[in-house]
Amino acid sequence: MSAPHPIEKNDYLILTKPIARIMVSLTAWIRLNFSGVMIYGQRRLGKSHCAEFIKRYLADTLGYKLAVVLLCVRKHDVVREGDFLDTLLRSLGETPPKRGSKDQKMELIINRFLVLARRCPVKKVMLVLDDAQRLETLHFEILMSIQNELYQQYRVMLFTLMVGQPQLKLKRELLIQAGEKQITARLMADDVEFVGHRTLDEVKFAYKRFDEHCFHPARSGISFTQGLAPEAWEANWRLANEAEPIYIEYVSRREEMGVEPVEEVSMQALTTMATYIFQKYASKPGFRGLTPDQVKDVVNAAGLLQLEAPARKDGGEGGDLGGDDEDDD
């Protein structure tokens, strides 16, 4: 029995134009020795996908080894230092000691970062905090303490990248108003907004990755499109062929619903529609391209249009920082 295709497991990464822009900014921040920055954006646009991409491919972009630790910030009703230290230890591949003191946990964290930094020629290590809008002042103080100890005692720089929803940017503004500029200057020195795919060229670029750059099995030379739609592939069909009709229909539906910005396709919508095309149409005998009715079906089946309208209202900068939030996709 063959292993499930990455499309079936939703276990793959693709480079997109929005991610490429982030990588350019990120590379500049690291080379300029920023200690902490943030990326914010609406839900479902692909921030978590971007965080995973950074973890896997940042070293290739920089040209040298730099360890990237990814921490998904958990939501707790009560903020406790021990809970955050335990989560950080797990993200570092360590099992938190059941009876360890906070100082012992902090020492384990410092030592683990030191081990990772030794592999980097410029003695840096990176911590990516996903769903960072959940962080509170206590968490920021812990992160600064770790940065201070690493640099002052060992000349190791811990670069923190916070990735979250627009509430994260509002949180920085509130910290500045409260006089907590040491936090914002250290951990939020710069920012960039993460947006979806806002042009046809960006959608086509992403779909070409399925045609030309994503392979299964790995290093087999068989692209996702070739493997999932072999007959259509031989007839010169490519997923990128559908980018224009899909984009036009998707934008039209958003305009009908009054969703802003009109010309924006989220990462989740883009990949969901690609999966639907492969599974329902492209894999079938005789397929040579989507009909207009099939294009409408694909856009409807993405299942996100009805979700994005309330997401825009709830996810704005005027939202309640203490309210419930959703995991980013």
Domains of the chain and any CATH numbers: 17-193 (3.40.50.300), 198-312 (no CATH)
The answer to whether 253 and 305 are in contact (CB under 8 A) is yes
Window from 99-113, 156-170, 310-324 with minimum mean pLDDT: 310-324
Please report the pLDDT score of residue 291 as a whole number: 97
Selection from 310, 304, 224 nearest residue 269 by Cα: 304
Q: What is the pLDDT of residues 22-63, one digit of tens each?
A: 999 999 999 999 999 999 998 778 888 999 999 999 999 999
Please report the pLDDT score of residue 326 as a whole number: 39
Please report the pLDDT score of residue 100 as a whole number: 79
Q: How far is CA 167 from CA 34, 137, 288, in A?
A: 22, 14, 45
Q: What is the pLDDT of residues 211-270, one digit of tens each?
A: 999 998 888 889 999 999 999 999 999 999 999 999 999 999 888 888 888 888 988 899
Q: How far apart are CA 263 and CA 315, in angstroms?
A: 18
Mean pLDDT over residues 71-87, rounded? Answer: 88
The answer to whether 93 and 35 are in contact (CB under 8 A) is no
The answer to whether 271 and 46 are in contact (CB under 8 A) is no
- Check the CA dihedral 11-14-17-22 and report its sign: positive
Residue with tokens 């990735």: 163
Please report the pLDDT score of residue 115 as a whole number: 96
Whether pLDDT at 324 is above 80:
no
Q: Which residues contact 172 (CB under 8 A, 6 or more apart)?
A: 38, 184, 188, 191
Q: What is the pLDDT of residues 97-115, one digit of tens each?
A: 888 789 999 999 999 999 9
Q: How far apart are CA 143 and CA 160, in angstroms?
A: 8
Whether pLDDT at 16 is above 80:
yes
Whether pLDDT at 321 is above 70:
no
- Whole-model pTM? 0.84
The answer to whether 41 and 194 are in contact (CB under 8 A) is yes
Please report the pLDDT score of residue 306 as a whole number: 56
